[in-house]
Amino acid sequence: MRSDVLIPVTDTSSIGEARRAVLRVAEAAKLSETDAGRAAIVASELATNLVRHAKPAGGLLLIGADAGGGAVEMTSIDTGPGMGDVARCFQDGYSTAGTPGNGLGAVRRMSEEHDIFSASSGTVLWCRIVAGGASRTAALPSRAPRSSGLSVPAPNETLCGDAWRLTRAEDGRVSLMIADGLGHGPLAADAAVAACQAFDAAPFASPGALLEAMQAALSGTRGAAVAVAQVDPAAGKLTYAGVGNIAGTLIAADGSSRGLFSHNGTIGHLVRKIQMFDYPWPPDGLLVLHSDGLQTRWVLSKYPGLARRHPAVIAGVLFRDFKRGRDDSTVVVMASAPSGP
C-alpha cells in the first residue's frame, strides 16, 4: 500500500522540496543511502520537468512507500500540454524546451519500473524504486494481477483518513481492502487504521468475515466505509463485500463496466447487512476501487490506451481528473493482464 505525500510543483523552489520529501519517505521506508540517492535524483528530474513543461499551473508530485518499506514510488501529474512523442521523451538528450533533456532518461535508468500516459489532457508518469534495485513485480507469475494505488489526505491534513491494503497469497490470490474513516483528520485515520489491523490479522478470511471482524474492531471509533475484494485468477472469480460509500467498478477488455454492490451503513456502527457477491474476473479486465474523495462519473474509455497502462498510472489519471479536493482521496487499481506494450 501507499500513503502519499502530495507536493504541488509550481516553481523551482518546489524542486528542493520534492527532494527533501522523497528523502524523508525513503528513510522511513528503510532504503539505503544509495537507493535514497537514486530516488532524490528522480524526484528532482520529475519536479524539474513539471516546472519546465507543465503549463500554466504546474503539476503535482505524489511520493509514497510500501507499507512494509523497501520501495518508494513517485507519480508525476500534470494537465498539459502532453508529450508529443513519449518514446523519444524517454531517451536521454531529447527535449522540447531547448535544454539538455536528461530528465526522463534518468527516470528510466534509475527506477526499477516506470510507465507513462500522455495525451493533450496531460501526462501521468509513475516510477518505482526498489531497495537494492531488485524488481519485485517482475518476479510475479505472468498472469498474476498487477496492482497499485494512491492515498492522499484532504487539504490541510497530514494524516489520511483513508487507508488501503493489498496482500498476495502464494497461490496467486489477491486480497484488497479500502477503508474510508468518517470525515477526515486524526479521528478518521483511527478508524481506517483499525480496519487495516483487522485486515492484516487474516487477509484471506472471506470478505464477509473481514467486514464482521471490522464491525467489532471499529465500534470504539468514528466508523468507516469499507470494501474488500478478493480475486482468485485461477478460478476466474472476484468476491466482493462492501458497506458504505466505496465505489467498486469492474471493467472488461471491451470497455464495458459494472458497478460492484455495497450495502448502506457504517462499519463500526449501523450496518444493516453484510453480504458477499461473486463476479467473473475478466481475463483482460480492470478492477477500480476508490473512496468518495473521487467523483464516480469517470469513463476509462474516454482515455484511449489508458486501460493498458500500469495500474499506478490509471490511478494517477483518475486522481488528477476526478478528485473532489475537499476529502481524503484513495484509488486502487488491479489489472488482470500485464500492462504494455
Task: Tell me which residues touch Mn ion (CB under 5 A).
Answer: 180, 292, 327
Residue in the structure block whose three cell numbers are 489526505: 153
Residue with Cβ nearer Mn ion (188 or 231): 188
Q: At 259, phi and psi to the nearest 5?
A: -80, 145
Which CB atom, from 35 or from 292, has the smaller least distance to Mn ion?
A: 292
- From residue 213, give the alpha-carbon distance in Å to each of 198, 203, 210, 223, 232: 7, 11, 5, 13, 22
| φ, ψ dihedrals at 218, nearest 5° | -100, 5
- Residue number, 6 or 71, with CB nearest to Mn ion: 6
73 vs 292, which CB is nearer to Mn ion?
292
Query: CA-CA distance, 207 to 90, in Å (whole number)?
Result: 42
Torsion sign across C-alpha atoms 289, 294, 295, 297: negative
- Output the smallest distance, CB 150 to Mn ion, in A: 15
Q: Helical H runs in the chain?
A: 13-28, 33-53, 86-89, 103-110, 186-201, 207-217, 311-322
- Residue 285, number of CB atoms within 10 A of its CB: 22
In angstroms, give the least distance from the CB of 328 to Mn ion: 6
In whole angstroms, the minimum distance from the beta carbon of 299 to Mn ion comes to 22
CA 267 to CA 214: how far, in whole Å? Answer: 7
CB closer to Mn ion out of 247 and 333: 247
Q: Least separation, in Å, of the C-beta of 324 and Mn ion?
A: 9
| Alpha-carbon dihedral angle through residues 318, 259, 328, 210, given to the nearest 10 degrees | -130
Q: Give the residues across from 224 on adjacent strands.
A: 181, 267
> Among residues 153 and 316, whose Cβ is nearest to Mn ion?
153
Question: Could you tell me the end-to-end alpha-carbon distance of the chain, in angstroms, rounded to an integer?
Answer: 25
What is the nearest approach in angstroms of Mn ion to the Cβ of residue 273?
Answer: 21
Q: Which is nearer to Mn ion, 5 or 160 (CB)?
A: 160
CA distance 197 to 202: 9
CB of 186 to Mn ion, least distance (A): 14
Least Å distance, CB 179 to Mn ion, is: 10
